[in-house]
Structure 1
Amino acid sequence: MDILHKATLVQERKYEDIHVGDKALFSHTITNEDIQTFATLTGDVNPIHLLDDFAKDTIFKERIAHGMLVSSYISTILGTDLPGKNTIYLSQSVSFKAPVKINDTITVVVEVLTKRDDKKIVTLQTNVYNQHDTLVVEGTASIKKLG
């Protein structure tokens, strides 16, 4: 499906329909192509992400995904599901807890923590887990709903 067509399908949750405790999940398997594309887009060519010979001599013993690549999937949920369309990202905190490796399947779990009605601001817990249910990224985000 064309990426522009996908954008037309994004639904919107109105501010009034968002409740403390609401959750959304998104899963993705990290591939070598993801890592190389992210490195190309950002210029972050740290060899820990790209070179097997370098990575084998690190504490991880193999290549790992960029932390910000993994964290970027939080935006996937915020912009397409909870809350979706007409959402403006205000802030994001992240703490990297464990490495993500090629072929790891990550699951982003977003949960509404608070709402500020006067400004339509929502604070969300934004955690990422691997396929072993290990917390790899812990964070919180603030968003503003437009309209």
Structure 2
Amino acid sequence: MTTWWDTATGRRAEISRVFTEADLAGYTELTGGAPETGTVPEPLIAGLFSTLLGTDLPGNGTMYLKQDLRFASPARPGEQIRATVTISAVRPEKALVNLRTVATAGGRVLCEGEALVMARQFPLK
């Protein structure tokens, strides 16, 4: 019998989002700190990965254990940001999933990194 774990490596999920000036104003109000002028704050981009991990891959019940992001280029308000997570390895005996994370916009890489999560126990979609 094939399980989710047997076919997980290589699976990917993605999400696209455009952050507006209104989103940045909300971020400033919530955090008390204004982002650098003309840029989308890095935590908003990181949140796209959190959304994917908790809703799509591995999905509901996922717990973050570790995340490493290396930002290479700033995102600008109004441009479409695409975040992608791809499963690079699984350890079913511990319910651990390693993922590669990448965010792009306008043909350039905004950030790359890795995430380690604990997936909820069976059944997984």
Same structural fold, with TM-score higher than 0.5 when normalized by the shorter chain: yes
Structure 2 gaps of 5+ residues are none
**RMSD across aligned positions (CA):** 1.6
1:136 aligns with 2:107: no
Runs of 4+ aligned residues of structure 1 deviating over 4 Å after TM superposition are none
What is the CA distance between 1:17 and its match in structure 2?
A: 6.6
Q: Residue in 2 aligned with 1:28?
A: 17
TM-score by length of 1: 0.75
* Per-residue CA distance 1:99-141 (angstroms, 9 max, x = gap): 11110100001100011122110010011000x2210011111
* Per-residue CA distance 1:43-79 (angstroms, 9 max, x = gap): 2224x24xxxxxxxxxxxxx11111111211111001
Cα distance change on mapping 1:42 and 1:18 into 2, 3 Å:
farther
Matched positions, count: 119
What is the CA distance between 1:30 and its match in structure 2?
A: 1.3
What is the CA distance between 1:18 and its match in structure 2?
A: 5.5
Structure of larger gyration radius: 1
Cα distance change on mapping 1:113 and 1:90 into 2, 3 Å:
same
Q: Residue in 2 aligned with 1:88?
A: 63
Q: Distance in 2 between matches of 1:120 and 1:138?
A: 24
* Per-residue CA distance 1:5-49 (angstroms, 9 max, x = gap): xxxxxxxxx853751100111000111111111222222224x24
The letter of the residue matching 1:71 is A
1:74 aligns with 2:13: no
Cα distance change on mapping 1:32 and 1:26 into 2, 3 Å:
same
The letter of the residue matching 1:142 is L
Structure 1 gaps of 5+ residues are 1-13, 50-62
Identity of aligned residues (%): 29
The answer (yes or no) to whether the contact 1:25–1:109 under 8 Å persists in 2 is yes
TM-score by length of 2: 0.87
1:127 aligns with 2:116: no
